[in-house]
Structure 1
Amino acid sequence: MSTKITFEDWLALTQLYADYASAVDSGNWDLWPEFFTEKCVYRLQPRENHERGFPLATLSFTSKGMLKDRIYGIKETLFHDPYYQRHVVGTPVIRGVTAEQFICEANYAVFRTKLSDVSTVFNTGRYLDTVVRTPDGLKFASRECIYDSEMIPNSIIYPI
């Protein structure tokens, strides 16, 4: 893999990461699947399992259709205490570049605020991403959210 990247590509990648965080923090859940290709991977996995090569993940989806099903569940069938979330995402580090794709990673922290409670750190970790060029701009072909703690409070409802 070549390691050269143009300024325009770097800017587009940085904007993709910022737009993703803004979308999942907005509560407009229909925006989330549109950041992915039709055939994609979205996984939320504890760091220990990832480092040991264990396949067990908290969430694992393998298509945009599965992401849309998750959104339907969030909006229509899951019952939970509502909360807001706010992502703080580091600048993506580009690990590899080809004409078709970028291999990137970025640290993230997600803060959660329940309506009658103080904000807390909800989830921290890093994204391991494969980003591809499409006619509609850059999209995630794969997004692995590798979270640092084996303990997660209650359940994870919204996308990380």
Structure 2
Amino acid sequence: MMRAEPIRSLSARDLHYELQKLYAAYAECIDDGDLEQWPEFFTEACLYKIVPRENYDRNLPLAIWLSESKGMLKDRVVTIRQTSMYAPRYMRHLISGISARDWQGDVLAVQANYLVLETLMNEFTRVFNAGRYIDQIVVENDRLKFKQKLCVFDSVIVPNTLVFPI
């Protein structure tokens, strides 16, 4: 991949390409059910949060999912695999509008739109969740990783079947 120093020197096109690869791999990991690999997209000290837009806009702390480390993400995967009861389903993430915003030291601020579709067996596919990612990305061990991933969903209605990461 790359080292932390040269990432700033990438052309806008090359940086966008690297970000596209990261987000595509992220979506593929979740959609393919490879949840044990999902925490590897994050740094050890990270923040993963799913929050309604209304709470985000008002700077309210309430989130429907909050994990403050890679260890917490791994615990969530174990919970999903070993203790959660849910109907079988397929998830499909569509990510667009990936936009590198600015640098703060070695941290790149990135935003992207997402749409998550859900298909339950014997049911039509439906829109499960839509919103935007507000991310902080760093280079760690020659890979782009999420230091922070805020999933800000647009609806005021909280998904009651939130099993998998967004």
TM-score norm. by structure 1 comes to 0.93
- 3-state SS of 1:104 partner: strand
* Partner in structure 2 of residue 52 of structure 1: 58
* Partner in structure 1 of residue 82 of structure 2: 76
State the number of aligned residues.
158
- The CA distance in 1 between the partners of 2:9 and 2:127, in whole Å, is 35
Structure 2 matches for 1:3-152, cutoff 5 A? 6=11, 7-97=13-103, 100-152=106-158
What is the CA-CA distance between 1:4 and the residue it aligns to?
Answer: 7.7
- 3-state SS of 1:92 partner: strand
Runs of 4+ in 1 over 3 A off after TM superposition: none
User: Is contact 2:52–2:158 with CA below 8 Å preserved after alignment?
Assistant: no
- The CA distance in 2 between the partners of 1:4 and 1:137, in whole Å, is 16
Equivalent in 145, 154, 162 of residue 156 of structure 1: 162
* Ranges in structure 2 where 5+ consecutive residues have no aligned partner: 1-7
Q: CA-atom RMSD, angstroms?
A: 1.6
- The CA distance in 2 between the partners of 1:41 and 1:17, in whole Å, is 17
- The CA distance in 2 between the partners of 1:153 and 1:56, in whole Å, is 15
User: Is contact 1:131–1:140 with CA below 8 Å preserved after alignment?
Assistant: yes
* Ranges in structure 1 where 5+ consecutive residues have no aligned partner: none
- 3-state SS of 1:90 partner: strand
Relative to 1, partners in 2 of residues 1:72 and 1:136: Cα closer, same or farther, differing over 3 Å?
A: farther
Structure 1 letter corresponding to 2:121: L
What is the CA-CA distance between 1:31 and the residue it aligns to?
Answer: 1.4
What is the CA-CA distance between 1:153 and the residue it aligns to?
Answer: 3.5
- The CA distance in 2 between the partners of 1:24 and 1:136, in whole Å, is 22
- 3-state SS of 2:156 partner: coil
- The CA distance in 1 between the partners of 2:141 and 2:35, in whole Å, is 23
- The CA distance in 1 between the partners of 2:150 and 2:98, in whole Å, is 14
What is the CA-CA distance between 1:134 and the residue it aligns to?
Answer: 1.0
What is the CA-CA distance between 1:82 and the residue it aligns to?
Answer: 1.6
